[in-house]
């Protein structure tokens, strides 16, 4: 059996791309400074790169799953061009109160619940304790901690965010994540 590999888990909106709210086209998809360096470094250090993103915009009917998947393909191509390979993208299209039809669910995949991370653990044989998660919301941190991710980094320029949670560290730029990847 292959040995377990750590992952770099990335939230999408606010970590990979600037969060303008319900981004669903490449024209509106602006990469956050440092993201290509972080992912490239993680790849060379032996991390699997796994995106875990809530996409309630699908459930709310603002854009379709197909829109999302097309944008995801484009995003992954851009990473490949930058010598940074995304291994897997998980998304949760549900919303517990605003979702339409079958999308109205308090689904286990939606952060702060750890469903997407646990699915990745199972499917990709991830060493969770050795893994790193970067998010820009407390719901990301909660999901990471609940899933047993060893290092949870909150990308935030608000110092109030410092004391909010144990087992979670605040970084002000993606470059501050690099030392965690190089051990």
* Chain positions contacting Mg ion, by CB under 5 A: 11, 13-14, 136
Give the DSSP letter string of 32-55.
PTTHHHHHHHHHHTT-EEEEEEE-
Rounded to whole angstroms, how far apart are CA atoms 4 and 35? 24
Q: Give me the least distance between CB of 110 and Mg ion, in Å please.
A: 13
Rounded to whole angstroms, how far apart are CA atoms 23 and 35? 17
- CB of 34 closer than 8 Å to CB of 174: yes
Q: Which is nearer to Mg ion, 19 or 87 (CB)?
A: 19
Q: Give me the least distance between CB of 19 and Mg ion, in Å please.
A: 6
Residue nearest to Mg ion (CB): 14
Rounded to whole angstroms, how far apart are CA atoms 55 and 158? 24
Q: Which is nearer to Mg ion, 14 or 99 (CB)?
A: 14
- CB of 119 closer than 8 Å to CB of 99: no
Q: Give me the least distance between CB of 15 and Mg ion, in Å please.
A: 6
Q: Which is nearer to Mg ion, 43 or 56 (CB)?
A: 56
Reading across the β-sheet that carries 151-155, which strands appear in turn? Answer: 88-92, 48-54, 7-10, 132-135, 151-155, 169-171
Q: Which is nearer to Mg ion, 11 or 86 (CB)?
A: 11
Just list the catalytic residues. 11, 13
Rounded to whole angstroms, how far apart are CA atoms 122 and 36? 26
């Amino acid at each position: 059996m292959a040995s377990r590999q750590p992952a770099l888990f990335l939230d999408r909106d606010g970590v990979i791309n600037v969060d303008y709210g319900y981004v669903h086209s490449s024209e509106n998809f602006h990469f956050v400074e440092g993201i290509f360096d972080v992912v490239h470094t993680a790849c060379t250090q032996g991390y699997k790169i796994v995106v875990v993103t809530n996409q309630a915009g699908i459930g709310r009917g603002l854009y379709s799953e197909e829109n999302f998947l097309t944008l995801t393909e484009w995003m992954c191509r851009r990473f490949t061009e930058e010598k940074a390979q995304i291994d897997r993208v998980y998304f949760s299209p549900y919303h517990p109160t605003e979702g339409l039809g079958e999308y109205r669910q308090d689904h286990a995949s939606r952060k702060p619940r750890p469903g997407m991370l646990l699915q990745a653990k199972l499917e990709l044989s991830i060493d969770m304790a050795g893994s790193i998660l970067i998010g820009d919301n407390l719901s990301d941190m909660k999901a990471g901690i609940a899933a047993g991710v060893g290092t949870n980094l909150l990308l935030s320029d608000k110092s109030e965010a410092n004391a909010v949670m144990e087992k979670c560290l605040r970084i002000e730029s993606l470059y501050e994540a690099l030392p965690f990847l190089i051990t």
